[in-house]
Amino acid sequence: MFSGCLLEWYCRGHRDLPWRRTSDPYAIWVSEIMLQQTRVAAVIPYYERFLARFPTPQSLAAAAEDELLGSWAGLGYYSRVRNMQRAAREMNGRFPSTWEAMRQLPGIGDYTASAVASIAFGLPHAAVDGNVLRVLSRVTNDAGDIGSSLVKSRLAAAAEARLDREQPGRYNQALMELGATVCLPKSPQCLVCPVASFCQARAAGSQNALPVKLRRAEIHRKTRRVYVVQHEGSVLLWRRTEVTEKLVGFWELPEAEQFQKAVPAGVPAGTFRHSITNHQYTFEVVQVHVQKSRPSVLDGIESRWASIEQLHDVVLSTTARKAFMLLSVLAM
């Protein structure tokens, strides 16, 4: 039986991750949101710090914006944490205990609701993420485009049909673990796979060709320049205030468009790379030392001078942190 072999393998040994040591739905939910688009190794320290600071939905709901954003700085995709706070406020202090109720909350989709419902409450819902889609495309030898809604629905139905309804949470975690550690995107480890005998792709010799993804997002590359303007130990920053901006509330280093007058002359200090989904940026860092009187802040936008010591308490964007790290001004 597929689920029996999978669960036996999982019970023999799996990664010891902090969110697997709890049945608290709030803590599991935090981990699932953090793990979206983010590697496990990167999430662990953020997860532990976040729960130490916000141990309950009530504490998350009451968090000030700077504290909230500061706890997430570096993880990216900040709409995730904003939606988490909105959801926490709608919970009224109690995490919902049904899939349907979870699904109504901001930022919780089918996968997240299924993962939390099954792991925390033992409810029979198959959690289908990218790892699961890859595993099941091989198990069923499905050569359809995994990016299409039709194929995703077909594979979700395959996951539901194989779900162990007695141990749905453990089953979901085992299937995700299989995709993360054995049924890899490239060079799947079929010789050690616990469900190899059930895998139709392996029987057909097509495991390396699956899953099929026909539509790939176009990569957009762009070079940008930021200015580290310094005067007597202080740095010029500006903050996004438009509620429609993804990084609203974060302090940034100015770019050319933030200067109403001529862009100050400076010294190139190096470059760093920064990626957001299918956008790849190369940032050029220019260091500017103002020798005379400190110029006024930037016109028309919220801006300030912050001392080097204050930077540790300022909610900086990831690109600002990378620029300061390049100059050895601030540790990440």
Which residues are catalytic, by number? 32
Q: Find the length of the chain.
A: 332
Tell the burial category of 275 from Cβ atoms under 10 Å away from its Cβ (0-12, 13-18, 19+): exposed
Give the separation between CA 211 and CA 201, rounded to whole angstroms.
10
Give the separation between CA 146 and CA 151, rounded to whole angstroms.
6
Alpha-carbon separation of residue 201 from 145, 205, 301 (angstroms): 15, 6, 57
Contact 281, 273 (CB under 8 A): yes
b/e burial code for range 218-252 (CB count within 10 A of at least 16 → b) = eeeeeeebbbbbbbeebbbbbbbeeeeeebebbbb
Nearest C-alpha neighbor of 231 from the set 296, 300, 301: 296
Contact 295, 235 (CB under 8 A): no
Dihedral sign from CA coordinates of 45, 48, 53, 54: positive
The SS3 of residue 121 is: helix
